[in-house]
Amino acid sequence: MRFNEEEEEQKENERNLQSYAIGVEFPPQPQQKLIVGYALTSKKKKSFLQPKLEILARNKGILFVAIDHKRPLSDQGPFDVVLHKLTGKEWRQILEDYRIEHPEVTVLDPPDCIQHVHNRQSMLQDVADLNLSDFYGTVGVPKQLVITKDPSSIPDAVRKAGLMLPLVAKPLVVDGSAKSHELSLAYDQFSLSKLDPPLVLQEFINHGGVLFKVYIVGEAIKVVRRFSLPDVNERELLNNHGVFRFPRVSCAAASADDADLDPCIAELPPRPLLEGLARELRHRLGLRLFNIDMIREHGSRDRFYVIDINYFPGYGKMPEYEHIFTDFLLSLVQSKYKIRSANNTRKV
């Protein structure tokens, strides 16, 4: 009967498909889950794992699973991705050991690369070495000086280095605490000895009171404006004395995206310039999750400065972060599949 013939034909096709599938990997199917193990502080978990992210991720086949710190990491999972932002030598060693034991798992990001941007002396060195300059503008870093001890030596060190007042003072080490993101503005030489080392002193550059936060998620780039410290004119520099302390300016300040700003100040950095900068820093830093705090020198249209780099920043404040981040996670799996497929093709 025709029905039996069709049934036999279907069975034969299934057998052929099974035979063909031996040694060949197919792309992940929608019903397969991408398992992301996360190790975050309670504060980071609350700001990052918002309901809108978890719902969208679930719809895309991505499942976030909390890592239990009381159990060995290798006994948990299996994970496709490990997402983390914890500090401490013990945790770094756990992750390094895990990366060696499980090279198939993507760790975002490598602990040794993260350490590089936890020190303000080294974090901007890659930008300085890059010396990016093209048709769209230039990107540099403010002139800076590292002070490790003895506050009384700061005025003399500043004179020898040729730094111009006012100076921005920042803690040397970024350890994730609120204190490590505080900054001070010193207006005169005498007040410099009141600062508390270890710290980095940066020349203050007038920038119209607006800072650009450049969020980077893999190859995706998103820029937002934030209000920053106001410009300092000559009269203020002469009349103000002492050290003025500020909280974490770029995070505490309100968004400047909808503010009525001078177009010359509000204009975002050129997209090609940002793409070139992000591409170079991804390579040099070895990071895929970070943001750049960037300013434009007031009175200039194309002279920019990077003043800070942060690993795994507050993405919850980035518009459409849930779409950008889930697309990024899926792209990691697709990249791995392409590599495995290429290796299998070469073996055939």
∠ Cα 160 161 162 (to 5°): 90
Query: Two tokens at 80?
Result: 């496709």
79 is an annotated ligand-binding site residue: no
**85 among the known binding-site residues?**
yes
Radius of gyration of the chain (CA): 25
Residue 308 labelled as part of a binding site: yes
Q: Is 152 annotated as a binding residue?
A: no
Residue 210 among known ligand-binding residues: yes
CA-to-CA separations, 325 to 35, 105, 130, in angstroms, rounded: 14, 18, 27
Say whether 208 counts as a known binding-site residue: yes
| Residue 317 in marked binding region | no
Joined tokens for residue 211: 């800072």
70 is in an annotated binding site: no
**Has 46 been labeled as part of a binding site?**
no
Q: State yes or no: 344 annotated in a binding site.
A: no
> Is 314 among the annotated ligand-binding positions?
yes
Q: 227-240 as b/e, with b when 16 or more CB fall inside 10 Å?
A: bbbeebeeeeeeee
Three-class SS of residue 243?
strand
**Residue 279 counted as an annotated binding residue:** no
Residue 206 assigned ligand-binding role = yes
Residue in the block written with tokens 């093709």: 345
The answer to whether 204 is a known ligand-binding residue is yes
In whole angstroms, give the CA distance from residue 83 to residue 89.
17
Give the rounded distance of the alpha carbon of 42 from its chain centre.
19
CA 175 to chain centre: 15
Residue 310 annotated in ligand binding: yes
Tally of CB atoms within 10 A around 144: 19
Residue 139 makes CB contacts below 8 A (sequence gap 6+) with: 127, 130, 132, 133, 273, 277, 294, 304, 305, 306
Among 268, 277, 266, 269, CA closest to 309: 277
> What 3-state class would DSSP assign to 53?
helix
**Amino acid identity, position 214:** V
How far apart are alpha carbons 195 and 184 in whole angstroms? Answer: 9
In the three-class reduction of DSSP (H, G, I as helix; E, B as strand; rest coil), residue 77 is classed as: coil
Task: Confirm or deny that 289 is annotated as ligand binding.
Answer: no
Instruction: State the binding site for Mg(2+).
Output: 293, 308, 310
Instruction: State the binding site for ATP.
Output: 120, 170, 202-213, 228
Instruction: State the binding site.
Output: 44, 85, 120, 170, 181, 202-213, 228, 293, 308, 310, 314
Instruction: State the binding site for 1D-myo-inositol 1,3,4-trisphosphate.
Output: 44, 85, 181, 213, 310, 314
